[in-house]
Chains A and B, each alone.
Chain A
């Protein structure tokens, strides 16, 4: 992601102590010392980096950039058993520390939804076709288990991450 897009994104998020997000993976055990356990999830906070173009006017971040917007391995707050059972797609609330460290602290009534981008020519006001950059994480269907891999290799209950309807990742 270009540095200016990073700065823009940070400016947006740094003002919010609490933001809503959408869980993109099942909680997974990150570390444990035998007593304490730390679960983490990937979270979509609904902020895609803006589209950028090179000097020739060709888009350089519009395709495939959506995965840059995912917060990876966000820790789940301790003592919240319900959160451990959050399924991919759950709406959660994230709290940010002063140092920019996020943790999931509970479920939310609001979450990032669809993300659509349209390119507008400011010269003649022509409008391009909408591009779907929505991040959706869900259980793969039986048919998809066969389509996206050799049937029997991907376990039942595997979660697929889609960007604009196109499969990006499979986790189980």
Chain B
């Protein structure tokens, strides 16, 4: 409701004025500082305006020729009783007619949001972190389409983003505002003076304007479409869900262990790209490194984190020590003077055996034994791979008592729902709004400039109308009436 105004008294005259602003911006008119206004009221022969547009016809002789003619892109200000009533941008010269001595010019004027800048040009928002208030996103979008801070008056909401790395893209500024504010039950709306406001879609709130019987002229109702009986909100759960797959092989490895290295550690990632998570992993020994001549190592597996573990083969400390000692022994025995054993160890005879060679051979046997104890193991890592995925929850509000054959569903997909209770409130509000919006009510009342789009107007019989739009006749001498279009709240 526009609180600048009071209801127009019954049986009173309205004084309209139409000004052309060749250079002023919306904010200048809003602040009352626009000094470029050219009064065209004397040439207006007919006109009407809604919350979104205006059609004005001028009749003149030569006064609006050349530079004096309103041009597309200029602002048009409609005043009521010397106060700004509505401001828009000239979109086009809709018609021009030349008669003998008279010219007739018709212009089409739109509110500032009905331009390609708002409705067509695709935009990209900055990246928003989790916990960002949606008011901030909506404000950023509004600033990006050219509004100034004093032209933004969106209601504060308690909604904030629940997903990290949220970015809107490939959408028009208007679609971004719709998308952002939708879950809070707010429709973006450019008011009569070009200020971005939000109107509530909640039909359970108190009435904004209460009409008395003497201000109501006529009501007509019609049903244009079947009502929605079910609204389903599809929202992305902010908590990731763990999805576990069946036990399976995550990786295989072949490792050779022996005296040459004390520790053999091999990192085992659960996928080639090192991104697969897994839990409950374990090692299956397909062929042990100890299946050779001598057991040479211990075989263990440890999971380090959700992405990888490690196969650990630890060679017995005796192997490298014995190898080193035996080599030293060989070298040492090489320096032992060769005594001679005649006839062997036990029985004397005609042969000689160098004593040093025996010592050397014993040391070499020890080394070779260790070298022969090298083992190759084949291992398989198994476990339960899992992923963390987003769940798209569904919250459905269904009208009570609707027969099967009347069911009509509407899906709303959004990422701006915070939790289940928020989704339920959202779905319920949308069901009530969309179900009621199916039947159109046209109401003619005594002019009341307070009424804006989104207002709930209470009629004398206590029924209520949610205002979707209004039409006001600007023609000189027209009745001081206001045509409201909406639905029963």
Say whether A associates with B: yes
A residues apposed to B, CB below 8 Å: 2, 4-5, 8, 12, 20, 26, 46, 48, 50-55, 57, 60-61, 82, 85-87, 89-91, 107-122, 125, 127-128, 130
Q: B189-206: which residues lie under 8 A (CB-CB) from chain A? A: 203-204
Contact of B243 with A by CB under 8 A: yes
Contact B400 A119 (CB under 8 A): yes
Contact of B432 with A by CB under 8 A: yes
Closest to A116 in B: B395
Given contacts A8-B408, A87-B244, A120-B397, 18 further A-B pairs with CB under 8 A are: A4-B405, A8-B407, A50-B230, A51-B398, A53-B400, A87-B243, A89-B244, A90-B243, A91-B387, A110-B390, A111-B391, A112-B394, A113-B237, A114-B237, A114-B393, A114-B394, A118-B397, A122-B435
Contact of B424 with A by CB under 8 A: yes
CA distance A57 to B400 in the complex (A): 8
Q: Can you report 9 A-B residue pairs in the complex whose CB atoms are below 8 A from each other? A: A57-B400, A82-B245, A90-B245, A91-B243, A110-B236, A114-B393, A117-B395, A121-B401, A127-B424
Closest to A84 in B: B246
- CB-defined contacts of B237 to chain A, threshold 8 Å: 113-114
- CB-defined contacts of B435 to chain A, threshold 8 Å: 122
How many residues of chain B are within 8 Å of chain A by beta carbon? 45
| A-B residue pairs, 8 tightest by C-beta | A113-B391, A52-B404, A113-B393, A57-B401, A91-B389, A2-B404, A85-B246, A50-B230
Contact of B111 with A by CB under 8 A: no
Contact of B409 with A by CB under 8 A: yes
Contact of B39 with A by CB under 8 A: no
Contact B403 A54 (CB under 8 A): yes
Contact A122 B436 (CB under 8 A): yes
Shortest beta-carbon distance from B449 to chain A in Å: 30
Shortest beta-carbon distance from A41 to chain B in Å: 12
Shortest beta-carbon distance from B402 to chain A in Å: 6
- Of the listed residues B396, B405, B420, B431, the one surrounded by the most CB atoms of chain A closer than 10 A to its CB is B396
Contact of B36 with A by CB under 8 A: no
Closest to B431 in A: A120
Which of A61, A117, A121 is B396 in contact with, Cβ under 8 Å?
Answer: A117
Shortest beta-carbon distance from A92 to chain B in Å: 9
Closest to A11 in B: B409
Q: B296-347: which residues lie under 8 A (CB-CB) from chain A? A: none
Shortest beta-carbon distance from B22 to chain A in Å: 48
Contact of B267 with A by CB under 8 A: no
- CB-defined contacts of A87 to chain B, threshold 8 Å: 243-246, 384
Shortest beta-carbon distance from B312 to chain A in Å: 27
Contact B408 A110 (CB under 8 A): no
Shortest beta-carbon distance from B166 to chain A in Å: 15
Contact A46 B400 (CB under 8 A): no
Contact A111 B243 (CB under 8 A): yes
Shortest beta-carbon distance from A135 to chain B in Å: 11
Contact B407 A5 (CB under 8 A): yes
CA distance A52 to B408 in the complex (A): 10
Which of B389, B391, B404 is A5 in contact with, Cβ under 8 Å?
Answer: B404
Contact of B217 with A by CB under 8 A: no
Contact of B50 with A by CB under 8 A: no
- CB-defined contacts of B403 to chain A, threshold 8 Å: 52-55
Contact of B399 with A by CB under 8 A: yes
Contact of B286 with A by CB under 8 A: no
> Contacts A111-B389, A113-B237, A120-B432; is A50 near B244 (CB within 8 Å)?
no
- CB-defined contacts of A54 to chain B, threshold 8 Å: 403-404
CA distance A162 to B400 in the complex (A): 26
- CB-defined contacts of A12 to chain B, threshold 8 Å: 409, 411
Contact of B241 with A by CB under 8 A: yes
Closest to A7 in B: B407
- CB-defined contacts of A117 to chain B, threshold 8 Å: 395-398
Closest to A90 in B: B243
Contact of B84 with A by CB under 8 A: no
Contact A60 B404 (CB under 8 A): yes
> Contacts A116-B420, A120-B398; is A50 near B428 (CB within 8 Å)?
no
> Contacts A46-B392, A87-B245; is A128 near B404 (CB within 8 Å)?
no
Contact B246 A8 (CB under 8 A): no
Shortest beta-carbon distance from A118 to chain B in Å: 5
> Contacts A50-B407, A53-B402, A89-B243; is A118 near B393 (CB within 8 Å)?
no
CA distance A86 to B236 in the complex (A): 23
Contact of B248 with A by CB under 8 A: yes
1/0 per position for B229-264, CB-CB distance to A under 8 A?
Answer: 110001011000101111010000000000000000
Shortest beta-carbon distance from A162 to chain B in Å: 15
Contact of B75 with A by CB under 8 A: no
Shortest beta-carbon distance from A106 to chain B in Å: 12
- CB-defined contacts of B241 to chain A, threshold 8 Å: 91, 111, 113
Which of B248, B396, B400, B423 is A122 in contact with, Cβ under 8 Å?
Answer: B400
